[in-house]
Amino acid sequence: MTATEPGTFDIIRRGFEISPGFKRAAILLAIVGVFEAAGRAVVPVLFQLIIDEGLLRPGGISTDTLTRLLLITVAVILFVTLASLIAELSVLRVAERALARLRVLVLRRAIDLSLAEHADERRGDLVSRVTSDVDTVARFLDWGAYSWIVDTSVAIGAITVMFFYSWQLALVVLVSFLFMIPVLKVLQYHQRRGYRTMRSRVGALLGEVSETVGGAEVIRALGHGDASIESLDVAIDDVYQAQVDVNRFTAVLFTVADVFGTVALSAVIVITALWGPDWDLDTGTVIAFLFLVQLVIAPISELTEVIDQTSLALAGWGRSMELLDRPAALPEPDDLTSDSMPDGALSIDVQGLSFAYDTQMVLKDVDLHIPAGTSVAVVGATGSGKTTFVRLLCRLADPTGGEVRLGGADLRYVTSSERRDRVRMVPQDGFLFATSVRDNILRGRDGASDADVEVAVDRLGLRDWISRLPNGLETELGPGGEGLSVGERQLVALIRAQLADPGLLVLDEATSSLDPVTEKAMSDALDRISRERTTISVAHRLSTAERADLIVVFDQGHVVETGSHIDLVDLGGRYATLHQAWQRGTGSDDDLSDQP
């Protein structure tokens, strides 16, 4: 990320580099602009010709001349219309293809970013870069882009025609419009400030509503309803006030071009009346000027309408592209350097393993050997490095120092397809896709069949559990797995992992307490899934730690203890302290000894 905001031209240059389609579309639009300018300038020019061909002389213009002029003009308009239609339709196709490509590019890079970028607090930002930021570009393409390029071309075209007729009058018009720029700037500054206030007040209102909805129960239970309505009303009135305030500037802004256009017109008329003949002007020219000035007013009025939208779009475009500048997390090995893992359960060898998020070291020089087939519980306080450790085992990131070997193969040199078949992770929140339970499981292995799903369910002994779901395997889930508790989602994720039959399974236990039914199903399934493979659990429950062959205790990025539950309790170190804290909190030794 750069410290300074990129300027408008930087964004456009970079945008054209990433999406050459937008550049082509812009060039095509400029051509449309030339056509449009020509098409609109044709009426004032015709007017001038009709007058100068003798309209005002006694007897008027000859019918032949008039017909000839009219036919030429109509032909020009028809040609220009057809040409700009064709050009605009190709602009549409080119730009939309570029926009679609940009959406996919940005999303793909968001997927490929390192997990540090996917930390919870950054997720909202990431989603908005992929969706609403690109949407501002889309809205700009609908309207703003056309206005900028075509309206500018028309205004420039009209002024060019003016210079062709009379450079003196053209200069007068140009100077009149130049005075408009500072006025526009001031109004626009106030408008932008007003919008900023409005956005922040809308944010405050939404915050208030979400508090009210989230706290609906407490509001009722403590009789706070009237007070809540009062403060919601204040937030709503604040938004209203901000909107009405910003409206003042928006209303005035639109008329600025008209006001300065009138100044230009008045100047033209006065100058013509006072010095017209001396300046070699004639009637036709001046009348053409009256209409050409109108041609400058309309595009500028339109531009004042899109200024705000434009700055939003530029910001959105910049933000989505900034994502593309962040490096993808993991380079893939090529054929020459790739390494392969053995079949069956995988051993784990970790040497000098370090990892830093930005500048913060979370793992420091960890060495560890875990034989194939071991079931391991990883224990430690929040921030001890345990979660990062298991993520590195799945190559969700590469270590900043040292190496991870699974079954002897350096993980960095294992192809992604092999890694995905052999190493599986069940994440803490048990994220599931918004589809049926069955489809979620099927995504565990390419080409898996319904029969494979049944086998996996049976191998984990979850047939009964599945039948308790509202619609069994066909139960449809909401976004993220809504409809199931976190523990239930993890069970589905566990079946999905079983389907792949990996050599290493990594489980990040849920921190919230499970209901007894899920707890029972989970511990049975874990027992079964850990029989034929190496399993690593980030343990939040004592029962999980007790059940493991080996406990690895992390503290401040170091492995401080390894051993079985009994060994570590006897050792009286970090694990024994954790264990004691647990006992103090929940009951006596007698309760504990009753545990199976």
Partner 1 sequence: MSEPSIIRRGFRLVAGYVRAHPGSFAVAVTGSVVYAAGSVLSTVALGYATNEAIIPAFKGESPNPWWAVAGLIGVAILRTGGVIVRRYYAGKTAAATRVGLQKGVARRIIAMPLDRVRSRPQGQLLSHIDSDTESAVDAIHPLPFSIGVVSMLIFGTISLALLDIPLLLVTIGLLPVIGVMSWLNATVVQHPAAIERQANNAVTAAASEIIDGVQVVKTLGREDAETKLFADTVEELRVARVRLGTRKTAFAVSFSAVPQLTTIVILAVGAVRVGDGHLDAGGLVQAVALFSVLAFPLQVIGFFLFDLPPSVVGHDRVSLVMSEPDDPLLHTLDGDSLPSGPLSAALANVTVGNSDRRRLSHADLEIRAGETLAIVGPTAGGKSTVLEVLARLRPCGDGSVSIAGTPLSGIDDSALRNRLTLATQNASLFHGTLLDNVSFARDVDEDDLLAALHTAGADDLQGTLPEGYMTIVGERGVTLSGGQRQRVALARALAGHPGMVLLDDATSAVDPTLEEQIIQRLAGLPMTVVMVTHRVAAMTAADRVALVAEGRVVEVGHHEDLLRNPIYRGLVDAYLASEVLS
The nearer residue to partner 1, 27 or 259, going by C-beta atoms, is 259
Both tokens assigned to 219: 């509001």
Shortest distance, position 525 Cβ to partner 1, whole Å: 15
The nearer residue to partner 1, 15 or 487, going by C-beta atoms, is 487
Shortest distance, position 267 Cβ to partner 1, whole Å: 9
Q: For residue 305, give the 3-state DSSP assignment.
A: helix
Shortest distance, position 549 Cβ to partner 1, whole Å: 18
Q: What is the torsion angle, in degrees rounded to the nearest 10, for the CA atoms of residue 224, residue 227, residue 229 and residue 234?
A: -150
Shortest distance, position 334 Cβ to partner 1, whole Å: 18
CA distance 265 to 291: 9
CA distance 172 to 166: 10
- The values of phi and psi at residue 320, to 5°, are -70, -35
Residue 557's nearest CA partner among 360, 363, 361, 355 is 363
211-to-205, 216, 219, 223, 482 alpha-carbon distances in Å: 10, 8, 10, 15, 21
Both tokens assigned to 308: 């705000």
The nearer residue to partner 1, 351 or 523, going by C-beta atoms, is 523
Q: What is the torsion angle, in degrees rounded to the nearest 10, for the CA atoms of residue 163, residue 168, residue 173 and residue 178?
A: 100
Shortest distance, position 181 Cβ to partner 1, whole Å: 18
The nearer residue to partner 1, 331 or 584, going by C-beta atoms, is 584
Shortest distance, position 528 Cβ to partner 1, whole Å: 18
The nearer residue to partner 1, 27 or 104, going by C-beta atoms, is 104
Residue 98's nearest CA partner among 32, 33, 18 is 18
The nearer residue to partner 1, 405 or 424, going by C-beta atoms, is 424
The nearer residue to partner 1, 6 or 480, going by C-beta atoms, is 480
Shortest distance, position 535 Cβ to partner 1, whole Å: 14
In sequence order, which residues have a C-beta less than 8 Å from that of residue 146 and are 6 or more positions away? Answer: 29
Shortest distance, position 297 Cβ to partner 1, whole Å: 11
Bridge pairing between strands 348-357 and 423-426: unpaired
Cβ–Cβ under 8 Å, residues 88 and 30 = no
Both tokens assigned to 424: 């599986």
List alpha helices for 3-151, DSSP H.
8-18, 20-50, 63-112, 120-130, 132-139, 145-146
* Angle (nearest 5°) at CA 199 between 195 and 201: 115
Shortest distance, position 10 Cβ to partner 1, whole Å: 26
Neighbours of 276 (CB within 10 A): 19
The nearer residue to partner 1, 12 or 252, going by C-beta atoms, is 252
CA distance 565 to 376: 11
The nearer residue to partner 1, 104 or 175, going by C-beta atoms, is 104
Shortest distance, position 341 Cβ to partner 1, whole Å: 14
Bridge pairing between strands 348-357 and 375-379: unpaired
The nearer residue to partner 1, 26 or 545, going by C-beta atoms, is 545
